[in-house]
Amino acid sequence: MEIGEVWKSLEKDLADVEACIITHLASKAPLIPEVGFHLLKGGGKRIRPLLLLLSARACGYRGNRHYLLAGIIEYIHTASLLHDDVVDEANMRRGQKSANRVWGNQASILVGDFLYSKALYLAVREHNQQIMDVLSEATTTMSEGEVMQLAHIGNVGITEEEYIEVITYKTAALISAACRLGTIIAGAPQEIRNAMTAFGMNIGIAFQLIDDALDYSAEERKLGKQVGKDLLEGKITLPLIHTLMKSGKEESQRLVRIFKNRRPKPEDVEFVFECIANDKGVEYTMEKTQGYIKKAKASLDCFEPSPAKNALLAVSDFIYKREL
């Protein structure tokens, strides 16, 4: 199954998710739908809702309550993007001006808070304890991951294990929760729930690894895409962690200086890219990604064959190619 077929087969379902997303943005404060639409209409690929829908279907779910749940997950994700963009002082998001640039930090922070609250408000009204258990754990873990990442800014001593822990918290926890919610709403047995949760966790880690690899990809750079964002933000990601391990004393000392310093000069950026290319930091990260994708796919072994299962496998493969 090709990824294009996956999107096509879920076109109608994703339209229902969009309808939920739009409906519940209504507020006494018109700024909320204004900022919300900007980001939510800004071309996100809805990977989390997609995974939730597929997870429910792979468990044989036939109802329609998963649309709202998928919308809730997207609200939480969008809230975190709004806050991330303030934290990172971002200028662009999904190919357009970021909300903090258009409406200012204040609106981004407060509308982000609204989306978080509204997501939990809607979830509470599903009257399902298990849903709330999963969602509230995921958002707490996610926010801890964000704080962990902040604390590691410029920390060139971060180990690969610590880095994997950070991305598990900040990215994989919510993706995994989306997958688990699909099984809960389908009333799947515990073993199936755990398998799908593991799938989401591994796919989530892979998702972030690819993101971090692409940020140092020479090919992306040649194509004129924005790269080196993590470097500018002082985020130490796997391509660099690997390179720091591999590099000689002199090289490593200069890398450390660059990352401790912030505001690197153009020749510093050039040097970082060169080091990562020489030490194959991107290739190493892609290899690790493959490992997580393999683990994710293996988690699905206990599922009966179905179009939804095939779609989940296709999504896994596609993450590696990543134009999601």
- Please classify residue 155 by burial: count the beta carbons closer than 10 Å to its beta carbon, then call 0-12 exposed, 13-18 middle and 19+ buried: middle
Q: How far apart are CA 79 and CA 211, in angstroms?
A: 19
Of 56 and 131, which CB lies nearer to a second copy in the complex structure? Answer: 131
Q: How far apart are CA 83 and CA 156, in angstroms?
A: 25
Of 173 and 315, which CB lies nearer to a second copy in the complex structure? Answer: 173
Of 125 and 249, which CB lies nearer to a second copy in the complex structure? Answer: 125
Which helix (H) or strand (E) segment holds residue 302: the answer is none
Of 140 and 253, which CB lies nearer to a second copy in the complex structure? Answer: 140
Other C-beta atoms lying within 10 Å of the C-beta of residue 287:
13
Of 3 and 132, which CB lies nearer to a second copy in the complex structure? Answer: 132
Which helix (H) or strand (E) segment holds residue 93: the answer is strand 92-93
Shortest Cβ 257–a second copy spacing (Å): 22
Closest CA to 135 of 168, 179, 105: 179
Shortest Cβ 240–a second copy spacing (Å): 20
Of 114 and 284, which CB lies nearer to a second copy in the complex structure? Answer: 114
Contacting residues for 162 by C-beta, under 8 A, at least 6 apart: 152
Q: How far apart are CA 84 and CA 261, in angstroms?
A: 22
Instruction: Report which residue type is found at 187.
Output: G
Q: How far apart are CA 81 and CA 134, in angstroms?
A: 20
Shortest Cβ 149–a second copy spacing (Å): 9
Shortest Cβ 78–a second copy spacing (Å): 13
Of 152 and 280, which CB lies nearer to a second copy in the complex structure? Answer: 152
Shortest Cβ 82–a second copy spacing (Å): 10
Residue 92's SS3 state is strand
Shortest Cβ 262–a second copy spacing (Å): 13
Shortest Cβ 177–a second copy spacing (Å): 12
Contact set with a second copy (CB under 8 A): 27-32, 80, 83, 86-87, 105-107, 109-111, 113-114, 116-118, 120-121, 123-125, 127, 129, 132-133, 136-137, 139-140, 142-144, 146-148, 150-151, 165, 169
Tokens of 254: 């200069």
Shortest Cβ 145–a second copy spacing (Å): 8
Of 29 and 92, which CB lies nearer to a second copy in the complex structure? Answer: 29
Q: How far apart are CA 83 and CA 266, in angstroms?
A: 28
Closest CA to 81 of 50, 44, 52: 44
Angle of helix 190-214 relative to helix 281-299, nearest 10 degrees, comes to 160
Q: How far apart are CA 45 and CA 38, in angstroms?
A: 14
